[in-house]
Structure 1
Amino acid sequence: MAMVDLAPFDLGGMREQLWLRRTEEGGGYEVCCIPFYAYGLALGDVVAKSGEDTVDGLISKSGRRALRVFFADPRPPADSRSELRSAVDSAGLLSEWNGDRHVAIDVPEMSLMQPVFDSVQEEIQNGTAFWEWSDARNFGSA
C-alpha cells in the first residue's frame, strides 16, 4: 500500500491509500485498486514510489479508465444505485464502493458503457448524482 497526496487535485490535507504490487520487472508498482480521488490513475497503471509509502509518479498507463459516480443526499424517490450496480454487473465491469454513495468503476478499453450511463442519467440531469472520469486531469504530485 502507498498513499497519494491529493493536494495537486484541490484536496489539500487529504491522501488516498492505493493497493499496489511490485511489477515482475521491479521497475515500479502496479495499481491493484480503482482510485476514488486521485486523478490520472486507473487499475493496472504502473507507478513509482518515494520511500515506502508515497506514490510520486506515473510510469505507464494500463489503457484502462476509472469512471466515478457520487450520489448526493438527500436521495430521491427514484434512487438509481441498484440500477447502476446491475448495469455494471451486466457489462462485466469491476467496481468498488466507498460507503453507499460513491462508486469507482474500472473501464477497460472498448467497454460498452451506454447501459451504465443510462442507469444514472436521470439523477445526473436532476443534480442528485455526479460523475467524472479519473483521467479528466493528469496525475501529478505536490
Structure 2
Amino acid sequence: MIDGVSYVSHEDPAWRGENNYLAMVDLVPFDLRGMVEQLWLREVDEGNGYEIRCIPFYVYGLSLGDIVGKDESETVKQLIRKSGRRVLRVLFAEPRPVADGRSALRRAVGSAGLLSEWNGDRHVAIDVPDISVMQPIFDSVQGEIGSRTAFWEWSDSRVFRSA
C-alpha cells in the first residue's frame, strides 16, 4: 500500500508478451475506494487502442482481449470494443472447510483448457471464451457455493466506468 492506496497487480498475466504496457483502473466506481487495479495491455492501434492481456480481478465490465483507451496518466478511461469473452470470479471465504474446493476448481479449469489467474490463494479470475465449457467449473465449486464458503460473480454483471 502506497499513500493509502492498495494496488492489485497481476503477477502472471494470461497473455503476457514482450511489448506490454501497464495501466491503472481506479476501482472507486465499483465501490472499492482506495483500491487500484493494474492491467497489462498491448498496443493495437498506434496509441489509440490497447488490448487487455490479463484477466481482471476486480474491475467490472472488462475481460481478456477487450480493447480499451487510456489517458496520458496511464489510466484506463474507456472501453472501445468487447472481445466476446467473459470473466468468472470466485472468492473462497475463510475459514476453509475440510472439503476445500480450490484443488477441484484448478483441475476443472485445467481440464477445460481455460486460462485463469489467482490473486493470492482465495480469489481466482477465469477467462470464459465460450460459456458451453463451464458446467465442470460450476460443478467443482457448487458444494462450497451452497454452503457459502465460496462466492462467484460475472465481471460483466456491471458495466465498465472510469473514475
With normalisation by structure 2, the TM-score equals 0.84
Task: Describe how 1:111-126 pairs up with structure 2 within 5 A.
Answer: 111-126=132-147
State the aligned residue count: 142
Please state whether the residue corresponding to 2:76 is helix, strand or coil: strand
Aligned 1:1-142 pairs, distance under 5 A: 1-24=22-45, 26-142=47-163
Query: Following the alignment from structure 1 to structure 2, what is the Cα–Cα distance between the partners of residues 26 and 51?
Result: 10
> Which one-letter code corresponds to 1:104 in the other structure?
A
What is the identity percentage for the equivalent residue pairs of Structure 1 and Structure 2?
72
CA–CA distance in 2 between the matches of 1:110 and 1:126? 24
Q: CA deviation at 1:53?
A: 1.4
Q: Deviations over 1:43-80 (max 9, x none)?
A: 00000001141000000000000000000000000001
Paired letter, 1:128? T
Q: RCO (CA 8 Å, sep 6+): is it higher in 1 or 2? A: 1
Q: CA deviation at 1:24?
A: 4.5
**CA–CA separation in structure 2 for the residues paired with 1:52 and 1:111:** 39
CA RMSD after TM alignment: 1.1
Displacement of 1:39 in angstroms is: 0.1
Aligned-pair CA distance for 1:12 = 1.2
Give every structure 1 segment of 4 or more consecutive aligned residues whose post-TM-superposition deviation is greater than 6 Å: none
SS in 1 for 2:96: coil
Letter of the 1:83 counterpart: A
* 1:109 shift after superposition: 2.8
Structure 1 residues 110, 124: closer, same or farther in 2, change over 3 A? closer
Unaligned runs of 5+ in 2: 1-21
Task: Please list every run of 5 or more consecutive structure 1 residues that lacks an aligned counterpart in the other structure.
Answer: none
Give the 3 Å change call, closer, same or farther, for CA 71–110 of structure 1 in structure 2: closer
| Amino acid paired to 1:138 | V
What TM-score does the superposition give when structure 1 sets the normalisation length?
A: 0.97
